[in-house]
Chain A
Amino acid sequence: MSLSLPFRQIYGPAIVIGLITLYGLLSALLGDGIWDVLSWIALAIPLVVIAWKCSRDNGTSAGA
């Protein structure tokens, strides 16, 4: 069994996605036009991550 993952590997991707989400939420709020488009792109990223991760079995089902 491998050593447990460090904090950065556990929360790193979550924090990056969180910041992208925050940008997406605020971009459309504070601007119009291009800022709306940037907001759509930013907010699509977390949803794409979900779709990508759920699209196939990506873990060792023997674990946990």
Chain B
Amino acid sequence: MASLTANTVRIWYRVHKWTSLVCTAFLLMACITGLPLIFGDELRDLLEPHVAPVSVPPGTPTASIDKMVAVAQAKFPTLHPFNVYWDDDEPRLFVNMSPSAKPKDGEIKSAVFDVHTGHFLEAPADRFSFVSFCLRLHMELFMGLPGELFMGVMALSFVVSLASGALVYGPFMRRLRFGTYRSEAAPRTRWFDLHNLLGIVTLTWALVVGATGIMNAISTPLFGIWRAQTMPQILAPYRGKAMPSHFESVDAAIKDVASALPHNEISSVLFPNAVFGSPRHYVVWTRGKTPVTSRLLTPALVDVENGALTVTNGLPWYLRALEVSRPLHFGDYGGLPLKVLWAFFDLALIVVLVSGVYLWLIRRRAPVEKELNHLVQLEEAQTGAFAR
């Protein structure tokens, strides 16, 4: 049984107050922008229509990726192939072209192809995307990596606020039945009840979304660490050799990887890139085919000159944990009903945040500290100690 002394409760109450105040504004923004992001796929389909690929019977062979890349190259002669990836929902291949290894915002141009026919479908225009706008505000405040890390700190503050909130929930609820809601009472009492009820009922969901938010925020540096540990070994044999002058076929590279990793499917190919991959290899990202393993990525490297294949040992545990837990932040892994439930949890969290701010704003008229002290004193008078 929890043994909280009166002083401990006061300390946790202060932790709850301050960590909440630190993150509330940003969290409110994250909740509001997160709401449309839950339905990001649906909104993109609605707001950003695209040319559909032809429907084909199952088992139809796919077209050459080399040819699609060549078409994209002809469309964007000043750019270089950056990566190709397959759309999750439709048989479409995106060929991304970039002026450099580390493209800035808006520098990447995409050409979209039909995976089966190999026909060019469209080059999406650079126009305002509501979903992308929400996403960038949500994850990085339009500030790139520093913004991402800042939002990570806000998420950390949120998780501490949740944990301390759960601890002070007990003392505040000592005289109230679970789920007490006094709708006829004064506004302060009503908001206090709402804050406690919604807070405690959505606690687990909020903790999971907060914790996975932290993990997403630090994913860029984590991948950087892995690359810094892995690449030097892979590139060591090439030391002193001239940079590759011609690129072998991407189709051949994919075929080799597919036969080396028969249980995986290929999700994307990164062209030689000294910043995000290897300057001498295609990095072929693969993933499993079951619900769980589809989140586990295994990269394979293919030498662009001689086609030699290097399969890594998969990602280290911290990146596996990141990849598996990532959907828990988005709620997009269990169909539309899960997304709708996710939206309701999000709305409940907004109420918790707003009621928390309200309780803090009216603190001069009805100080929560005073009430807490009163509860603690009552308890001490009754039992000799606050809780045992």
Judge: A and B partners, yes or no: yes
Interface residues on B, range: 35 or more
Question: In this complex, what residue of A is CB-closest to B379?
Answer: A4
B327 CB within 8 Å of chain A:
yes
B200 CB within 8 Å of chain A:
yes
Nearest chain B CB to A44 CB, angstrom units: 6
Please encode chain A, from 38 to 64, with 1 for each CB lying within 8 Å of some chain B CB and 0 for all others. Answer: 011001101101101110111111011
B252 CB within 8 Å of chain A:
no
Taken together as a complex, chains A and B put the C-alpha atoms of A17 and B206 apart, in Å, by: 13
Segment touching A, from B56-64, B78-86, B97-105, B174-182: B174-182
Question: In this complex, what residue of A is CB-closest to B374?
Answer: A64
Nearest chain B CB to A40 CB, angstrom units: 5
Q: How many A-B residue pairs have CB under 8 A?
A: 134
B225 CB within 8 Å of chain A:
no
Please determine whether B345 and A14 come into contact, CB atoms closer than 8 angstroms. no
Contacts A7-B2, A29-B327, A54-B181: A59 and B176 contacting too (C-beta < 8 A)?
yes
Please determine whether B175 and A50 come into contact, CB atoms closer than 8 angstroms. no
Which listed residue, B177, B203, B345, touches A59 by the CB 8 Å rule? B177
Nearest chain A CB to B213 CB, angstrom units: 14
Contacts of A63 in B (CB 8 A): 175-176, 182
Please determine whether B178 and A36 come into contact, CB atoms closer than 8 angstroms. no
Please determine whether B179 and A29 come into contact, CB atoms closer than 8 angstroms. no
Nearest chain B CB to A23 CB, angstrom units: 10
Please determine whether A59 and B182 come into contact, CB atoms closer than 8 angstroms. yes
Which listed residue, A14, A25, A39, touches B200 by the CB 8 Å rule? A14
B291 CB within 8 Å of chain A:
yes
Please determine whether B183 and A57 come into contact, CB atoms closer than 8 angstroms. yes
Please encode chain B, from 200 to 215, with 1 for each CB lying within 8 Å of some chain A CB and 0 for all others. Answer: 1111110010000000
Taken together as a complex, chains A and B put the C-alpha atoms of A5 and B324 apart, in Å, by: 40
Contacts of A46 in B (CB 8 A): 201-202, 205, 345
Contacts of B192 in A (CB 8 A): 64
Nearest chain A CB to B368 CB, angstrom units: 11
Question: In this complex, what residue of A is CB-closest to B3?
Answer: A7
6 contacts between A and B (CB under 8 A): A5-B176, A7-B2, A22-B204, A25-B204, A43-B338, A50-B198
